[in-house]
Amino acid sequence: MKIVDANGDPVNDAKVSGRWSGLIDDSDSDSTDSNGVVALDSDPVKNAHGTFTFTVTGVERDGWIYNSEANEEASDSITV
Domain ranges of the chain: 15-79
Q: What is the pLDDT along the chain (80 residues), one digit of tens a residue?
A: 888 888 889 999 999 999 999 999 999 999 999 999 999 888 888 888 999 999 999 999 999 988 888 887 788 898 98
Contact indicator for 45, 37 with CB cutoff of 8 Å: no
pLDDT recorded at residue 48: 85
